[in-house]
Structure 1
Amino acid sequence: MRTLHKFIIGATLSVALPASAFAQRQGAIELGAFGRVTKFADTLKLDTGLGLGGRAGIYAFKNWLLEMELSYADVDVNLPRTGDTSRDTLNKVSHALWAYRLTYNHPLSDRLKLLAGAGYAYDSYGRVRIVAPRGGGPQGLLGLRYVINDRLSARFEGTGTYVLPADDDAKPVARAAAFNLGAQAGLSLSFFTRDPKPRMQYDTVRVSQRDTVYVNRIDTVRIAGPAARPIVIGAINFAFNKSDISNEAKTILDVIAASLVEPTNSSRTITVTGNTDAIGSERYNETLGQARADQAKAYLVSKGVAESRVVARTQGEKDPVAPNTTDNGRATNRRVLVMLTN
């Protein structure tokens, strides 16, 4: 019963506790299945075990996955064969492993993430007198996640579990400390709770989903007043984790700069705002957004626009105009907006 209680408590914690966090921001529930290979400590006298498992989890915070796993395997015991079939069948035991951990998903690229996790693992054997009684201890995980599409990803991981020598369930005999290694690979499905919504609305001269090409004369555009929404006169997009100005973006900025240096627009000022997708930490994305804005400002200044007329700032990941759950959405959000301020 105690094992069942621990399983129920772990499942409840992995699903119920973070619910309040997701009421405030976007999150995802993850379900998956995997195959597992376990190399047991030599003291257990067990062959390497092959088994299957499943997992369930929820992102408690951005990139932080609180998850629970259960795997099962039939394992051969290293005992001499007697030739008696009824007795030799006792040389195979079942092994169940429960794991509860917090795993960080560190983005390496659009599709590849480094996984690093730590938590508590608990295992049991089908014949405790032959192997060992139930026990548990800390477990660490290191692996990679490859994102196949917006819902499906593949995970490849290695684990290390240290089973503590002291345990209340260590009956009929005490269990010695052991360190078990594991490798597992499988697929996971993510179910996102909701898409992010734009936090700012724009009056635009011309804005498409992926980019903006300025075509109107900005001297015909007037700001209604200090409380008016900003007017976007241009937008440029960026590659993942980059702040370099592309040739396509330079074409857009060339037209904007040419308009700003005209005598009729010599008093007009602009703000360039850098934005990012939601991959990476908020602090990192704020820095990346500022780098993109600074690059756009520097290019406009190089084309003759006075530096005092351009303010560069960052919104980081805080102002998405498309869902960060799709490749196209993230590409749309990696942008700099050029807005008139007077």
Structure 2
Amino acid sequence: MPSIVPIGPFHPALKESAYYRLEVEGERIVGVDFKPGYFHKGIELLATKKSFHQNIFLCERVCGICSDAHSTCYCQAVEDLIKLKIPERARYLRSIAAELERMHSHLLLIAVIMHAIGFDTAFMHVLKDRELVMHSIETLCGKRVNYGFNTIGGVRRDISPKIKEAIKNDLEKLKRSVSKIETIVNENPLIGARTKNVGVLSKEEAKNYCVVGPTARASGISMDIRKDDPYAAYDELDWEIVVKDGCDVYSRVEVRVEELHQSIRIIDQALEELPDGAIFSKELSGFLQGEAYSRVEAPRGELFYYIKSDGSNIPKRVKIRTPSVMNNPSVVSMLVGDALADAPVIALSVDPCFACSDRVTIVDRKTGKAFDTTFEKLLKGDK
């Protein structure tokens, strides 16, 4: 009979709370029960009680790591709803901010995986390099998190020659640093031993789970909203989608390391080709009745926003589908058949975010107590 080994809801390897109930025979995982649900904040409901402009700041707080992606996606949906075209300069600035955020997110995950496998020298090295990105973000946006950079119709802050030069200096240092990180990942035997052929998610399984972002690209699926449905200035910049077919933890790290190079390439071009002109459209007059949606490539993958408006300054409905909603369940398939010692690294490899993926809290009306249920029982209305 399998032994039960719990991981979570609090675990040093996880940045947030989640519960993995592992069934183990010897040192091999034979079954997994994954339970999220510790972070439901009711943001979709809150969004229907605040104005369109107030919701920019609310959406940034869905996830602190991807705050720019959320505000960009939300603003794009509203701009589509009201048929508003943003200035060229604003599109380029949005691309720069998005790529800086992608870099800091990827570097954070790479560092955390290094820590999880016991390679703390690499952990400290990567975090040191991440500070260069955080410095550029603060230089561009004025803040290190929840930037308040985007607004409906463009962006709030322009970039001066001094700021442009500061970001370029950071990028030059990052080019050398990322090359060193790539060498460490490619050549260090510890990383290979702990991540190759570990947490395998085949291309077919990845399609069945509908995974997105680096998780999909590490399983041989070439998909990226920046190419498939271009936004901001991505269709005017030269860059490549990074795809690997190893389907394991190592490939997920590889994809992120190589995407750091692509992000630097995008930012370099955007700074060089940055158009003159306004950063904000003054044509905003009112909100129209109707529906709109937007997609962006957040650091973890496709982020989707749907907005419904009745013509007032408060949205009727805001629906958010984050990449972690798609990626987190795939961990169950990755874990089965692998060693118990590899479970934390496998769970980390999809860069799980639980704060952005919890959508429902089920409450008994009579007692006021929250409870768990299955999807099948929920459909039937049973507890």
TM > 0.5 fold call:
no
With CA pairs under 8 Å and 6+ residues apart, which has the higher RCO, 1 or 2? 2
Point out the structure with the larger strand share.
1
TM-score normalised by structure 2 residue count: 0.20
- Larger Rg over CA atoms: 1
TM-score normalised by structure 1 residue count: 0.21
